[in-house]
Amino acid sequence: MNERVVVLRRTDSADPESLIFVWANYEWDPDNELHVDELLGRRLVDAFPRVRETALLPAYAEALDTQLSVGVPEVRYGDARLPDRVYQIQAVPLAEDLVASVVHDLTPERRAQAALQILNRDLETRILYATANVRAANEELESFAYSVSHDLRAPLRAMTGFAQYLVESYADQLEGEPRYLLGRIQSAAVRMGNLIDALLQLSRLTRQPLSRERIDLRVLCEEIVASLAEAEPARKCELEVEDISIVADPDLTRVLLVNLLGNAWKFSSDRRITRITVRRVANGCIQILDNGEGFDPAYADQLFRPFGRLHEADQYDGMGIGLAIVDRIVKRHGGRIAAEGTPGKGASFTWTLDA
């Protein structure tokens, strides 16, 4: 048998501690590091004093008195968190005064479980500590962004104000290059203000509470593209949107689509007809395609970085922050996004807001 078996004889029916060793199916006892020959004839309680702290003596007595097997599911020795020994024992009566103790060693299994529990508790502590650090870092970044935005806006307001004063008060004295340079200063100040607003918007996305509602993407896409067309009524656009509904945060989904559809609109401005398609593809993903400028796929990993522009600022306006906002929204939902493009042949963005 794989289990250790010990046969005990009760020499006094009135004394549960009168059990003595009479036989065993093994030669070496690991608990007290003795040969079995040295145990034979000895009382159980003398060889294993800790047996008094367990349920074994009552179990042996019950098995002998009733002549029925009695199980002891678990006998532990040592530290409760990481025990020295754990056994499952069955007391089987053999005669009126003989009982066999069938010992199944659970020590490796229980020690592994105990060690895993300790590791899990340690991991939980580490996660709580890391979460607290991330929360503190986010709060610090939020405070920094708020402080920077306010500290930068004051000199920007002064710069634009003084520049405007010069234009209005000394217009007749500002000609040629001085007036041109002053205009550049005003443009740079406005752009800096827009950059600050974009960064603040990006930072707020990590703090905004997430809600989930069913959204009709077709209605939302048509509304956004109609708004873009109102600003440029001379442009021709063909929008094709499948009937798609998703469950996501409605405000963040609108921001996501405003940026993706806005990019498709912007980068196809030189096309005779702007074509935008929104459709469902494999694995529940949604794809937005356009026939615009496209991009070199070798630099696709730069698209979702803040200010990661692949085109010159004088070609297409924008802060270079829109796709970083899209990426942040997708990750807030536990989704994923990927971009594909070919220079001069358009681009596609495939995304999902599900895990």
Residues 192 and 225 in one domain: no
Overall number of domains in the chain: 3
**Comparing C-alpha atoms, which of 282, 280, 214 is closest to residue 242?**
280
Residues 265 and 335 in one domain: yes
Residue where a domain stops, chosen among 151, 180, 204: 204
- pLDDT score, position 350: 94
Is pLDDT above 70 for 310? no
Residues 82 and 136 in one domain: no
Is pLDDT above 80 for 160? yes
Residue pair 25/4 in contact (Cβ under 8 Å)? The answer is yes
Long-range pairs for 81-87 at CB < 8 Å and ≥24 separation? 81/114, 81/118, 82/111, 82/114, 82/115, 82/118, 83/107, 83/110, 83/111, 83/114, 85/31, 86/110, 86/111
Residues 166 and 247 in one domain: no
Chain segment 173-206, per-residue pLDDT in tens: 777 888 888 888 888 887 777 777 767 766 676 6
The boundaries of the domain holding residue 63 are: 4-105
Chain segment 51-90, per-residue pLDDT in tens: 898 899 999 999 999 999 999 888 876 666 666 778 889 9
Residues 56 and 139 in one domain: no
Residues 236 and 139 in one domain: no
Is pLDDT above 70 for 41? yes
Query: In the predicted model, what is the mean pLDDT of residues 25-38?
Result: 81
**Per-residue tokens: 21:** 């060793």
- pLDDT score, position 28: 81
Residue 115 backbone phi and psi in degrees, to 5: -65, -40
Residues 6+ apart with CB under 8 A from 208: 251, 252
Q: Which CATH number goes with the domain that contains 151? A: 1.10.287
- pLDDT score, position 80: 62
Residues 230 and 340 in one domain: yes
Residue pair 341/330 in contact (Cβ under 8 Å)? The answer is no
Question: Which residue bears the tokens 């306010």?
Answer: 150
Task: Return the amino acid letter for 169.
Answer: S
Residues 49 and 168 in one domain: no
- pLDDT score, position 183: 82
Task: Return the amino acid letter for 276.
Answer: I
The residue that leads in pLDDT, 211 or 142, is: 211
Residue where a domain stops, chosen among 187, 204, 221: 204
What percent of the chain lies above the pLDDT cut of 70? Answer: 88
Residues 225 and 344 in one domain: yes
- pLDDT score, position 78: 67
